[in-house]
Each structure stands twice: as C-alpha cells, then as structure tokens.
Amino acid sequence: MLPLSTRRRQRRASAWRCLTAACLYAASALALAAPTAPVLRPTDTIGLPTLGDAARADLSPVLERRLGEEIMNDIRRDRDYLDDDPILEFLNNFGTNLVSASPGARGETNADFFFFAVRDPMINAFALPGGFIAVHSQLLIAAQSESELASVLSHEIGHVSQRHIARMLGQQKQDALLPLAALILAALVGKAGGGADAAMGVMMGGQGLAMQRQLNFSRDAEREADRVGFQTMRAAGYDTSGMVAFFKRLQSTTRLYGEAPAWLSSHPLTGERIADIQSRIREAPKPGHIRPDSIEFHLVRARARVLQDESQKGRDEARGAFESQMAEQNTQHQTAGMYGMAYLSLKQGDLKAAQSWLDKAKGSMRPRPGVLSSERPGSDGSAMFTGLGIEIKMAPGQPPAMLAEAVQDAEQAHQKFPLSRALARQYAEAMIAAGKLEQAAQFLRDQVQQYREEPKLYNQLAKAYAAQGKIALQHMALAESYVLTGATPAAVDQLNMARKAKDVSFYDQAVIDARERELQQKQKEDKKDDKDKDRDRDGFAVGVSAGDKLDTRTGNGSGARFRLDTGPGPGLDATPGGMRELPGLPSRNEPRSSPRNDPARLGDPFWWQRPQ
C-alpha cells in the first residue's frame, strides 16, 4: 500500500484533472449556448431574412433611434460637420434611391435614414444607431464613380437594416457570463490545489474565449453587411464591380500597414472580401441596365474638395486638382473642375473670377454641334449651377442690383425644383437679405408647416422676425429650433423670453403656455428614459457607452457603430480596408487631456502606439 501522503497527492491530482475537464466542458457549453450572428450563404438572394427581432429585448427600435438622434445633435454642433446644403441634398437623394430600390433595406424597424458628411482626411464611413449614416469628405473625393460610393453606403445600410448594433449588445450580454464563469472555476481550481498558474490559465481562457467570440461576431456582421450591400446596390442599378474597385483602392492606399492574422481581426481580410464579391458578381444574372454617373456626383466631389481643407495649403492643392481635371478628356471631369474653381474663387472672395468659372462650367454642359453627348446622361446639373450662382450674387461686396437678381433667380429655381430643400432655404435667405421680410416670413411659415423637422427653417424664420422687430415671435421660432436639436431646456428659456417680450399678444401667450407644458412633460420623460438607459448601459459596458460624446474628427463616440477603416486603429483591429466596430470614447471620468482625446492623432493610424 502506498504511503498516506502519496495517496493524498494522487487524490488532489485527480481532483484537479476533474476540475480542469469541468472548466473546459463548461466553457464549451457556454460557447454553444450563445451562438454568434448568423451568416448568410453565398446563394442567398435579395429576399434577406430580418434578423433583428431577437435584438428588441436589448435595444428597442425607439431607444435606438433616440440614441442616434442624441449623437447627431452632438455631431451637428461639431466644427467638422459639413453643413453644406448641396452635399447633404445629394447624399440623401442618393441614399434614398438605394433604400427605395430594395424592399427590405429599411429592416424590421422601418429605419428613417439620414445621410451626412463630416470633414475628415481618412477614407471612411460609419453607421450610427437609428439609421444615421456618415461619409467622410475624403471618401467622397476618393470615390471615382457613383457605383463606388453606392458600395460603401449600401454596406452601411446593411448594418442598419440587420440591426448589428442591437445584436451586438445582446451578444455582449451573453459573453459577459464567460469571464464570470471562468473566474468561479479558477477559484475552485486554486482551492483544490491546482496551483496559481492553473487558476490563472482558466481565468484567462474564459476572457480569451469572450474576446474571440466578439471578434467572430464582428467578422460575421461585416460579411453580412457586404452581402446585403451587394444586393442593395445591384437592385438600385449600380455596377456591382464598383465594390471590388473600391476595396482594391483601399488596399492599395494602405498596403504599407499590412494586415493582422484573420483570427485577430474584427473583420475579414480585404482579399477575402474581394474574392467573395467577385464570386457573387460571376453568379448573379447580368444586369439589364447600369446607372451612369450623374454630373451632380462630380460637382459634389468638387465642393467636398474645397471644404476638406480650408487652409492656404489645402486651397492650393484643390486648385491643382481642379486644373488637372480640366485637362482631362472626360466632359464631366472638366465641368467639375470649372465648378470647383468657381467655388474656390468664391471662398477666396474673388467674385469676378467665381462668376467667370461658373459661366464656363455651365457652357461646357451645353450640347456641341456634331458631338455625341454620351457622357451627359440624366440631369444637366442646373440646380447646383443655379445655387452656386445665387451664392455668388449674395456674397458680401455685391451691389444691391445683384441681390435683386439673386432673389429673382432663387424664386425661379424654387419653382423649377420645388422639392429641393437647398434651393428653398436659399430662396428664403435671399428674400431676407433683400429686405423682403414679410414675404420671407410668409414663405417660411408655409415651409415649416410642410417640413416640421428642419431646424434651419425655424432659424431663418427667427431671423426674419428679428429684422421685423417681432421679438416674441422670434423667440418662439428659436424655441422650436432648439427642440429639434435636442436642447429642450434652452427651448424653455426661449419661451420664457417670448412671454416677457413687449410685443407678445394674448394669443401668443396661450400658445407659449401650451408649448411650455408640452416641453416640461418632455423633460420629465427624457430624465426617466436617461435613468433607464444608464441602468441598461451598466449591463453591457464593453464597446458601448450611450453617454459619451462624439468626436467627428476621429469617428469615435457615443454608442456602437460600424465604419469603413483604412488603417490600423486601437484595440485588436489593425487591418486596413475593412468595416469594423468602433470603440467608444473615454468615459465621463476620463480627463479631456487623455491621449484618446488628442486631436494631434488625426490622420495618424499608429497614434495608439506612440509614446505619450
């Protein structure tokens, strides 16, 4: 018989082996019990399933939309938000065409999409909760065709329609059990005499499994968005090879960074994604008609190039780019170069040169005798040409006669393009500048009745009232503008100032009192929702922070979102050219001097590796 001490050591070893086996079994069981996001097969057609139903318990569609609106309110106040009406109108018309062509593009939440641009030198795009999709200005400049732009926006639409953000929260809640279970099992291993190393190994194994499952989910979400985007842009009539071309362009611009191993990346390798899309192009039926590029696409790229960098160096680079465009053989590129020179001259205050370049741009679009106009399908860009002409005539330093012409041109443009929001607001601004205040106020009152969600209209209406000396109405209009931008307390203050105005009428007092009660009730509901949101956020703190503020210069901020990244970034994702989940900004307790808040990292893909 063995000595007692030997038998005890054998029993402890046996117990340790049993606990180790139990740890592995429990980890495997948890992994199987919490499946990751389903992946669509290559043979799936446009009838994609709605995969967001299970996500309602984690993030309801109403809360998701409200979270997106809160982020957007912060973005609109940022200096890098491109509040340029022609660019916004083009992006929203372009995105609406994509969504309308695919019946399931809005998803089970029937998302109301809004597309906008931010000033950023990186080729990126990202989707916020609730259907808000951002495009970096550099992406607009880098896209060589509408099909390439459609491939990026369709991908982001896929993230929204498949509710990847809500599903990610559910996935994180499930994965939160893995480290906890590993910690308990590690304690049992240590108590059974397995040693500190064995206990630490079990604990780290559980954490590693949770992280790997998050990476698996992110890669599956990116593949799914690629496939949804492919079918969305194909249904809208765009050339699907534009997606391959854009991926290759990203790959060529970031080849120096290299790619991390596939199992460490939060998105598939770029080469794998290119191969998948090429396979789908070969298997899909040949399209009957492919949309040609519109002239508006090239004009918007020219505006984005001017607004991208307003320093002297940036303007010199923009001028060089426009001169190169005008030397090309493509008529659309030549016209865009002339338009860009006109807009650049306007920004520099050279009004005579701006008008001259604009006249040349409009003249280049006229049909030439004996020349086929195969490069000029669809619109002739007259809406954008007219808009820039009105901007030039309303610029500071122009004589009063020019201002009168601007009003006449704006009125005719509004009648010709009644659905153009940019031209409608421009018409109102021209009337205010020309002193036609009552006519402008009447026009804006009609506009706010039709478009109640446009804060710019209320700001213009307040401006018209202020010029007329109608102080009470001015503050009432500003209150509505603040409500639409999420500043309810400021809106209540404006109503109080309207109540104290000398020209307030009895009818105005009644309207103010009723509106103030509505806003006070809204404030109470918002506070209650904020408490519920903070309580829910405590359950999934990893990667999601609904209270953080957005920094549009880096793309990071409140909430989870997916974007197109072209360079290595912080965390595990160091792969260029793919769509990835963005990490949140620092918490409220992290000082603003934190390296993650340093604007100096703009454009530096390795900022997180630099010594601080």
The number of CA neighbours under 13 Å toward the Cβ of 111 is 36
pLDDT tens, residue by residue, 470-493: 999 999 999 999 999 989 999 999
Secondary structure class of 128 (helix, strand, coil): strand
Token pair 């599903």 is found at 167
Chain mean position to CA 533: 22
- Which value, in Å, is the radius of gyration of the alpha carbons in the chain? 28
Residue 269 is encoded by which pair of tokens? 């390798």
Q: What are the backbone dihedrals phi and psi of residue 562, each rounded to the nearest 5 degrees, phi first?
A: -120, 140
Secondary structure class of 581 (helix, strand, coil): strand
Q: What are the backbone dihedrals phi and psi of residue 317, each rounded to the nearest 5 degrees, phi first?
A: -65, -40
380 Cβ neighbours under 8 A, 6+ residues apart: 295, 365
Is residue 99 within a helix (H) or strand (E), and if so which, with residue range? helix 85-101
Q: Please give the single-letter amino acid code of residue 365.
A: M
The list of the chain residues with pLDDT below 70 reads 1-58, 170-191, 193-199, 201-203, 205-217, 253-270, 368-378, 529-612
Cβ(573)–Cβ(268) under 8 Å?
Answer: no
CB count within 10 Å of CB 501 equals: 17
The rounded percent of the chain whose pLDDT value lies above 70 is: 65
Chain mean position to CA 318: 25
Chain mean position to CA 365: 33
pLDDT in the model for residue 255: 64
Residue 573 is encoded by which pair of tokens? 């994702």
Cβ(501)–Cβ(475) under 8 Å?
Answer: yes
Q: Is 580 exposed, middle or buried (0-12, 13-18, 19+ CB in 10 A)?
A: buried
Q: What are the backbone dihedrals phi and psi of residue 3, each rounded to the nearest 5 degrees, phi first?
A: -60, 155
Is residue 3 within a helix (H) or strand (E), and if so which, with residue range? none
pLDDT in the model for residue 41: 38
pTM across the whole model: 0.75
- Look at strands 132-136 and 125-128 and give their pairing: antiparallel
- Look at strands 114-118 and 125-128 and give their pairing: unpaired
Domain boundaries, the chain: 294-366
Cβ(467)–Cβ(440) under 8 Å?
Answer: no
pLDDT tens, residue by residue, 44-56: 444 555 444 555 5
Span between the terminal Cα atoms of the chain, in Å: 65
Cβ(226)–Cβ(159) under 8 Å?
Answer: no
Nearest to 484 by CA among 455, 460, 517: 455
